[in-house]
Structure 1
């Protein structure tokens, strides 16, 4: 039995696209009036904003420095103040008797507001927000800190998230077991690590 679970937030505990249109309305407008300042399709860009860190998306779409700066200014002050519903199966995580940590990357004000509106603070021993824009911190560094501070062996921890290139890759680099949470079946051909689409399946890997 694992002693600790490290969970991602966006698209792991709740669906980011479910609040995306309201949350990113001002950002979407900024992009729409500056179509010449990035490459690629606007609708695809919007979808990626709901799935990946903004710095990664900006680089992917070759956003100009001017637009990137304006977008960062907007996003750094953004909060979400309406109720957010977690995925129905998230309740299964709360039933598991082990330490739980939330590690998410993004803008601190925004990520903190999501956690508050989800009402999930009580479920976690620790909550860590990695600001990848204003700091050089990474999820990998946070995972290492958790292992060291709580004296966990890598074999005693499992990381669960929706992004193979983010938290899953960081766990792999540290030798921590990782599980891809693929609620929307975006990674049909992914077989590198165990994959689940419902937290009811999680007990099989603990």
Structure 2
């Protein structure tokens, strides 16, 4: 989730740092940003599909994730046809994002139905902490981003330097919020040991 938020809010600075040179102008920056934001919204789903598919592989079931993946591809194609007219190239990116969430929802639903995945106590509190932390992070990044013309008017070294400082600041703020909410790194280490 923080990766999704960071990629969405830092989309303009990232594109400005990587591509905004020569004939790449303000219009190009804004159009590219639309696609990157649409794709960034799918980061949690892209990651969860890989995690959830592993649950099927552990049960020696390879067919189900493949079937659901094929269905998601069909959904993706239909959404591309629906969204390309109103949203142009950004519609193609959004179609991939939405299809990934369909894939994720179907995989999770089947794992819960088969009782392979059973949420344990404490998950609701953890999700609430994540929602609060990411809401605060979003507010911080919204104030931080700046305008497209500002990023284009600066030198490449200035862009890269400011983006680096902004990213480090965002990571530091997010870790501080998690720490204030009672989340500690040793909890993740303990979880990894239990899984291993």
TM-score by length of 2: 0.27
Higher relative contact order (CA 8 A, sep 6+): 2
More strand by share: 1
Q: TM-score, normalised by structure 1?
A: 0.26
More helix by share: 2
Which structure has the larger Rg over C-alpha atoms?
A: 2
